[in-house]
Amino acid sequence: MTATVFRIGGDLEVRRLGFGAMRLPTEPGPEREGSLAVARRAVELGVTLIDTAYMYGWGANEELLAEALHPYPDGVHVTTKVGIGRTVPAGEWTQDARPAALREQVERALRRLRVERIELLQLHRLDPAVPLADQIGALRELRDEGKIGRIGLSEVTVGELAAAREIVGIASVQNRYNLLDRAHEPVLAACEAAGIAFLPWATVAWGKSGATAEVAAVAAEAGATPTQVALAWLLGHSPVIVPIPGTARIAHLEENLAAEALRLTEQQRARLDRLGEQD
């Protein structure tokens, strides 16, 4: 039977189906109230890992989650990401993993999330303009100071992951990956070999799974939705995968979490596996 929990870094136990908060509207008004309700419903339904980032509204998403959930129930963890900044005056995003910038972003995230320690902090992107040892070293210092518990990376290659692990222990990797897009299969394999959590984003290919005949056929056979099939496939594909599907609607949230109970047959899984062999 597919495990329903995973221990990130070997000790941070989370439910394997998490929640990605990126899509939650943060502007004042009815949509924001809906966002608060979705975040609270996720926790009510047993979600223990919620993913956000400084880049999601430049801190507004973090503030939204704190408003919705603080004080956080026992076992609920909000993971955030740093290493992205805004250009001036255009306001466009740019990589910024200078040690001083990372420290400032972590300090601000602590305040916005209303915590003294972020149990899992991920570097949103490696910054090609900053030596890897400086970027990872800064996060290691923050971990040693107790401000973050575990360090993760996002959108990295096998080589980058290996190089980072020579500097500090890496607890998670967050790369784009789903049933129809498996370009990072080698990274997933490296994570599995090392027991590193793999948090795929774009878990259901932005809804395109339902447009694929094979996925739709399996969904019809299983009495499930294509989204649920895509998530169930991820959960069974590797024991280190911790999907973080996102939505701004409670109905969709409940649909996503119900995927945990879906059991695909070996034949169905084999048919879905073959989708990754197509161009």
Q: What is the DSSP string of 149-200?
A: EEEEEES--HHHHHHHHTTS---EEE-B-BTTB-TTHHHHHHHHHHT-EE--
Does any domain span residue 218?
no
Confidence (pLDDT) at 279: 47
Alpha-carbon distance of 203 to 182, in angstroms, equals 11
Mean pLDDT of 242-267: 97
Does any domain span residue 216?
no
User: Which domain covers residue 138, as residue numbers?
Assistant: 5-206+237-262
Does any domain span residue 190?
yes
Closest CA to 122 of 95, 153, 97, 149: 153
| Residue 72 among the catalytic residues | no
Catalytic: which of 54, 56, 72, 177?
56
Q: Residue 144 sits in a domain of what CATH number? A: 3.20.20.100
Residues 6+ apart with CB under 8 A from 246: 19, 20, 21, 22, 23, 24, 51
Confidence (pLDDT) at 278: 59
Tokens representing 165 are: 């692990």
Alpha-carbon distance of 15 to 93, in angstroms, equals 31
Mean pLDDT of 95-123: 97
Reported as a pLDDT band with limits 50, 70 and 90, residue 207 is low
Pick the range with the lowest mean pLDDT from 50-64, 81-95, 177-191.
81-95
Q: How many domains does the chain have?
A: 1
